[in-house]
Structure 1
């Protein structure tokens, strides 16, 4: 990729994403004609790297602590005590809209050239980002987002149901568009995700498309206005039409080398462990399972793994285990969606009687995949342990899914708000009336730059508070 094009793609839209859900290039004093030199392949790796890197950081800076995995004890009125600032979601809004603008530009270039695989890949990446945005905020701009070239500078906020329907339709269209006899011809060395040089890589993209669709449909099971059950059954019953992940090699894990420009999400690995302790919930659960992820996720304190209670009122004496610094050091794989998650989705669907599958097998496949994803090997007799083996309950599935979603953006948070599981402890330092937030507040800058549509969204949502439930939440 030419350096000038890369600079435009990586830097030219950032302000636009923050202020109005994708301000046009012309408004940012960039030269829009320079993008005419790009082909759809020029957009792909920057999108993959920046989206996966940002999503990893959001787990590390938000989900990791909010969901009781770790305690950041520099102060005790922060995310780990369920205090979330009004601006906590600002970076997600600006970043995902920034890269949505690039993904849309990629799709337009692909359409001009008749490159169906690039069109489909763009739709998958857009769907991933829109799913995170709508699941984190509620109503957000979709139909009018990133259309500044059409003088749509103040996009209307679409309602959640319409957004999810649109995402599901876009993924359906992408599934049809993928041509496994073709390739991604402009990425001659292969893309960052699947190293696509032939139809095998395209098939993996297609599996990511349909696995992501099941993730979205799982939320929609809680929405009476949409028949998610029938869509799920159609997908599961016709795997030849809707292929999904079948192994860790299919999973959407973006591999980065750690060598410029593929640098690790954290500039300083020491920041990963500074003023941080692993939680009792994390440590004791993995200990009880005799789980090989324990040493992969947690560093020993002296000769043992020691956790602290999350959300404590008084800091415990002594020292606790810290997160394993190796998790933040490249080379590493940044998850957009794992095979383990897909198998545990199938286990939940079977447990609820929505599909006819062996839920135990799906559960064990998911657990094994998660352990192996992180470089572990499942010990003999692991599932014979009564606290680790499948016991027929949704609680057991969701507890394993909690660990399968490590470093995958906000998915632990989303799943907790969908099911109330797993039952993470509420620390005695957390006020009794304090609850885990249901959503992010809209960036305050929208009140100045897109006030009319912000106010309409606020009225539609019933306010702009952290406690407002989204349509799929319990």
Structure 2
């Protein structure tokens, strides 16, 4: 959908790359399973007086619910984990209410974190906040940074709803007091579950078949075009070159191509096999993203302490470091990358969002959410996309809800104004 990759052949005429979005259940089903576990952690921690566990549970809950509501819009929230109390058909909450509560939960989590205490029962696989170092829990400090970085992500997403929620006030409160509200300050802070490569913690793509990983999926022309033009060093980490006219090149395919098209196996660039074993693919949020968030906020007049250009360059540098790429000395000053602070505000925003797009590689659905929010990056329309198909704004609800929770589903569909992929969620309206 965001033209990172596309299938080698698609004769059905459907598929995400032709702006056809079918009802999705995979994320819905798995996330609601996680929510029960997260709620159990919070409830038990509350009884035991374990505030750090409570705070971590709130951050996980907020991170996951924000993804789910940005995918679907209105979803079960306030009653979602109350089956044990007899609520098996939860009502659907509107997205505005969900965002309000998520932001409150993150603010609560920020106040609960205590870096003078270790996690009593250990179990932290993200920041290893299981022990103290010189009297401080460095992992809990990073959890707190993740908490506030996530707040910035979500506040920026709903910025144009400031008239309904005090978005600007909350952003300024974070930026003006980084001691109380710390955010990511380096790559070592970012929220990434690094798969150790031992049972059961393998990279989720570890066992991907070659048919699916390399032979059936290729990078798109759009994705590789800018990487090629700027000789981006991340390109070789992500993509396999192919030989064209005796030259080794990185070559992509059209996204949204006609149904009569079928690309030949091995003639276009696909994912490297190294990505299947890299540990750093369990990405929740990166330092690079925070710098691009600050670049946009600085561009819009918020006090971040640096210029949009400085944050923009820091974001690119952080993404390079995250992927283990060596950035050439002149990379940031070359055409196609150099930040033009004399451009219009909209043109500067586009520069920021294009680089943010690449920094979102392997980060859930964030690039799609941000495209819907800003309109960037500008994606070419595939020649095989029917004229009536529009760039989608959401995923339709899972069809099994028609039998499992028809009352709740009806409420959600009515509130949303429909259930097709062109219905805009609250923050996009």
Instruction: Please give the TM-score of this superposition, normalised by the length of structure 2.
Output: 0.91
The one of 208, 225, 233 equivalent to 1:268 is: 208
The answer on 1:388 being equivalent to 2:337 is yes
Aligned to 2:151: 213
Alignment of 1:16-415 (within 5 A): 66-76=1-11, 77=13, 78-86=15-23, 89-187=24-122, 191-196=124-129, 197-198=131-132, 199-223=137-161, 224-266=163-205, 267-268=207-208, 270=210, 271-302=212-243, 303-313=248-258, 314-315=261-262, 319-356=267-304, 357-392=306-341, 393-415=348-370
Q: Structure 2 unaligned segments of length 5 or more: list them.
A: 342-347
Q: RMSD over aligned Cα, in angstroms?
A: 1.5
Cα distance in 2 for partners of 1:254, 1:300 equals 29
Q: Structure 1 unaligned segments of length 5 or more: list them.
A: 1-65
CA drift of 1:329 comes to 2.0
Aligned to 1:26: none
Cα distance in 2 for partners of 1:75, 1:101 equals 37
CA drift of 1:269 comes to 5.1
Q: Residue 428 of structure 2 aligns to a residue in which SS?
A: coil
CA drift of 1:316 comes to 6.0
The worse-fitting range, judged by mean Cα deviation, of 296-305 and 99-108 is 296-305
Does the aligned pair in 2 maintain the 1:405–1:411 contact within 8 Å? yes
The answer on 1:434 being equivalent to 2:389 is yes
Does the aligned pair in 2 maintain the 1:269–1:328 contact within 8 Å? no
CA offset digits 1:174-213 (Å, max 9, x no partner): 00000011121211xx621011123111000000000011
CA offset digits 1:239-289 (Å, max 9, x no partner): 001000011110001011222110221322523212122111111111122
Q: Residue 193 of structure 2 aligns to a residue in which SS?
A: strand
Bigger relative contact order (CA 8 A; separation at least 6): 2
CA drift of 1:464 comes to 1.1
Instruction: Please give the TM-score of this superposition, normalised by the length of structure 1.
Output: 0.83
The answer on 1:455 being equivalent to 2:386 is no
Aligned residues between the structures: 405
Q: Residue 249 of structure 1 aligns to a residue in which SS?
A: helix
Q: Residue 426 of structure 2 aligns to a residue in which SS?
A: coil
Does the aligned pair in 2 maintain the 1:263–1:330 contact within 8 Å? no
CA drift of 1:315 comes to 4.5
Higher helix share: 1
